[in-house]
Amino acid sequence: MSDWRKTYWQLFDTAGRIIGVGFAVVGGIFSIWGLSLVLDPKATIGVNGVPSSDPWDKAIVLIIGLVVCVLGILLVFARPFRPDLESSDKKDDSI
């Protein structure tokens, strides 16, 4: 494979890892904020511009933060996608 394709796939994998770290950090921040909202019964969160102390509204922030954080961690630990490193004599695993 040519050199530009190798550089392309290296940049592709690096960008995926950087995005994954960003997702994990932002998800962690929202998870901490959501946890503090859930644990404090007097805390309010703006829902359509109106303060709300409904526990479900506060739990949504925690759930979304956890989902984004998990997606970020999965992106960081994903196996690199490098077709330029695959051998040309791979066996067919399809059934």
Q: What is d(CA 56, CA 63) in angstroms, rounded to the nearest whole number?
A: 10
Give residue-wise pLDDT tens across range 40-79.
Answer: 988 888 888 888 888 898 999 999 999 999 999 999 999 8
Residues 29/72, Cβ–Cβ less than 8 Å? no
Q: Is the pLDDT of residue 4 over 90?
A: no
Residue 94: its pLDDT value, please? 56
Residue 50: its pLDDT value, please? 86
Say what the pTM is. 0.78
The residues spanned by each domain of the chain are 15-39+53-78
